[in-house]
Amino acid sequence: MTEDLHIRTEGRAGRITLTRPKALNALSHPMALALEAAIDLWREDPAVDLVILDAEGERAFCAGGDIADVYRAGKAGDDTAGRDFWRDEYRMNAKLAEYPKPIIALMQGFVMGGGVGIGCHVSHRVVGDTTQMSMPECGIGLIPDVGGTLLLARAPGQLGRLLGLTGTRMGAGDAIHAGFADHYLPEAEWPALIAELCATGDPGRVAARALMAPASPLAEAAAGIDAAFSDTDIAQIVDRLEQHPEPWASDARKAILRNSPLSMGCTLDLLGALSPTDGIREALTNEFRFTYHAVAQTDFLEGVRAQIIDKDRTPRWRHAGTLTVPAEERQALLAPLGPSELSF
Alpha carbon distance 98, 10 (integer Å): 23
Q: Which sign, positive or negative, has the C-alpha torsion 206, 208, 209, 213?
A: positive
CB of 315 within 8 A of CB of 260? yes
201 annotated active-site: no
40 annotated active-site: no
Alpha carbon distance 105, 219 (integer Å): 23
CB of 286 within 8 A of CB of 333? no
65 annotated active-site: yes
Q: What is the DSSP letter of 308?
A: I
Alpha carbon distance 309, 301 (integer Å): 10
Alpha carbon distance 192, 33 (integer Å): 29
| Of 14, 65, 113, 303, catalytic | 65
CA-closest candidate to residue 259, choices 169, 143, 151: 143
| Of 54, 145, 174, 287, catalytic | 145
Alpha carbon distance 19, 220 (integer Å): 36
171 annotated active-site: no
| Of 137, 182, 269, 287, catalytic | 137
Alpha carbon distance 301, 75 (integer Å): 8
For the beta sheet containing 132-134, the strands, ordered from the edge strand earlier in sequence to the opposite edge, are 60-62, 110-112, 132-134
| Of 114, 160, 171, 179, catalytic | 114
Which are the catalytic amino acids?
65, 114, 137, 145
